[in-house]
Structure 1
């Protein structure tokens, strides 16, 4: 039996693991930041404006009915 030949290149597991952790951290971090920016910068103001509109509409309707 012949001995197995050494690979022509070094294993890259350490670099791959470090890169994977870095990529996941950056991706999740940016996703969290932009998700919060959308939620609190666009979604919540629009929702509050819609709710205020319908609240005013309901108050106007109730005032016309005399309640």
Structure 2
């Protein structure tokens, strides 16, 4: 879903995040980096706000 709506760059960044979270305790740093990425995306492409809301809700529902 990320790749379809946000593009390949964000899909690759998400894959990198998943790998880092498996190998080290980096959750806080990763969440900060994603906050900046998504703020930049909203500045560049505000029409994606609804997509980001949906992605955030889906992600939150999958978390323990």
Q: Which bracket does the TM-score occupy, shorter chain normalised? A: 0.3 to 0.5
Which has the larger helix fraction? 2
Q: Normalized against structure 1, the TM-score is what?
A: 0.32
Q: Normalized against structure 2, the TM-score is what?
A: 0.33
Q: Which has the higher contact order (CA 8 A, sep 6+)?
A: 2
